[in-house]
Structure 1
């Protein structure tokens, strides 16, 4: 099974816009967690996602928002 990687720098070189949506695998790589953990975060509502057709996608800004919330929670504790 092949996993596609998003090379934002390479996309910028060819003039392509940055991705708006990530696959769950791409979001997991952004967060440096496994695919199963990423699906668990989605299932609990901690990581925003949406379904398009039969595909689960994560908005490109959702991993950063998740991390910001986690940092704020840990800072408040």
Structure 2
């Protein structure tokens, strides 16, 4: 479940989306999934996660 006030670790996003670490980092590198840095740690905001899910939904509707 996505909580509006959370910053998610990559491992959390892997579990939520049921995707591998490699796929998550590919999505981050391509800009399809956005992230921020908290110190040296990469985090994914709840808004970025919702936007990514919406992008996947739009792509599946167009196919």
TM-score interval, smaller chain: 0.7 to 0.9
* Structure with a larger share of its residues in helix: 2
Query: RMSD between aligned alpha carbons?
Result: 2.1
Moved over 6 A (4+): none
Which runs of 5 or more structure 2 residues have no equivalent in the other structure? Answer: none
Which runs of 5 or more structure 1 residues have no equivalent in the other structure? Answer: 1-7, 9-16
- TM-score between the two structures when normalised by the length of structure 1: 0.67
State the number of aligned residues.
62
Larger radius of gyration: 1
Highest RCO, 1 vs 2 (Cα 8 Å, sep ≥ 6): 2
- TM-score between the two structures when normalised by the length of structure 2: 0.79
